[in-house]
Amino acid sequence: MFDLLPEWMKNGIGDDLLFWLGYFTNGKHLAWYASVQFTLTAAIVGAAFALLFGLIGATLKNSAFAPARLIGSGYTNIVRGVPDVLFFLFFPLAFEQLAELVLAQAVCTPLELASASGRWPPCADANWYLDTFQYLMLACVSLGIVYGAFTANVIHGAMRSVPHGQLEAARAFGMSPAQVAWRIHIRQMWVYALPGLSNCWLLLIKSTSLLSLLQIADIVLWAERLGAPNFTRSAGLVHPDWRWYYYLVLLIFYILLTFASEKVFAALTRRASRGMAVASAD
């Protein structure tokens, strides 16, 4: 990449620096930088799912209908207790198996189904090969389910924190229950929910480092590949175990991401508390 520079510029930069510039911009490293997209996609889409599941969970928990409350609290209590790594591995694989099971009933011949003792999937046509995008989407849904449980609790708590007088006043104005919920209750809920939601978001960001468990070539997997020792000249630069350095870069990346998130949440909180009596509810 830097071979094209004019000679005087090369001399100015120096051979050593030129070599390292070249090394850090080779295809392998570019693939690493590009893989940030998987981490950010998982974080953002995962958070969207988490918010969706959180709102559903909180609504169920607030419901006047007892079985709905049971489902809501069952979801939050069970999922919050399961380690996220476990769920992250379990959900996509279980989903794939289930899809293959259903697919097998549709495409395998009865003979194949009967004779396939111990073979999975029962016939080759029922085999579903997940590509990176599909794994990424399953990962987002898994993150959504896990952090949705935390989010549901945060939102549930925030809904109860909205002063009762506000809701009564809204009803006195003649608003319908839907109007009260949407215009007053949920609108004011955000101020109380944001500090908790920012916690959930940071936990979710940390969990995006698990993507490599699902064969997604994310920043963690590339850092491992790039840092792995190499002793064969035909395979590129010979170097000892450098994973330490690459992991350090990841550490800094996540810290910067946290820092940026805090700024965004501070801005969101300012916006949500405009005109609210609770002013700086942090």
Partner 1 sequence: MKNLIIAAAALAALTTASQAQAIRIGTEGAYAPWNFIDDSGKVAGFEIDLGNELCTRASLECTWVVNEWDTIIPNLIAGNYDAIMAGMSITDERKQTLDFSDNYFPPDPSKYVAAAGKTFDFGNLSGVRIGVQGATIQAAYAEESFRSGNTILSFETADQALADLNAGNLDLILADGSYLAEVIAGSGGSLEFVGPDVMIGGGVGVGLRKADDELEQKFNAVIAEAKRDGTLDALITKWFPDKGPGPFFE
Told to check if 137 binds partner 1 by CB under 8 A, we report no
Told to check if 244 binds partner 1 by CB under 8 A, we report no
d(CA 33, CA 27): 10
Told to check if 232 binds partner 1 by CB under 8 A, we report yes
Give how far Cα 132 sits from Cα of 45, 74, 129, 213, Å: 15, 32, 10, 12
Identified binder of partner 1 from the candidate list 235, 259, 275, 280, rule CB under 8 A: 235
Of 250, 251, 280, 252, give the one whose Cα is nearest residue 266: 280
Contact segment (CB under 8 A) with partner 1 among 6-14, 45-53, 55-63, 99-107 equals: 99-107
List all residues 6 or more positions away from 167 whose beta carbon is below 8 Å from its beta carbon. 180, 184, 185
For partner 1, the closer of residues 34 and 252 by Cβ is 34
For the residues of 195-230, what is the DSSP string, one character each? Answer: HHHHHHHHHHHHHGGGGGGGT---HHHHHHHHHS-B
Shortest Å, Cβ 155 to partner 1: 28
Identified binder of partner 1 from the candidate list 230, 254, 268, 281, rule CB under 8 A: 230
Site string for partner 1, 52-91 (x = CB under 8 A): ----------------------------------------
d(CA 262, CA 120): 47
Residues at the site binding partner 1, with contacts judged by CB under 8 A: 26-28, 30-31, 99, 102-103, 106-107, 120-121, 124-129, 215, 217, 225, 228-236, 238, 240-241
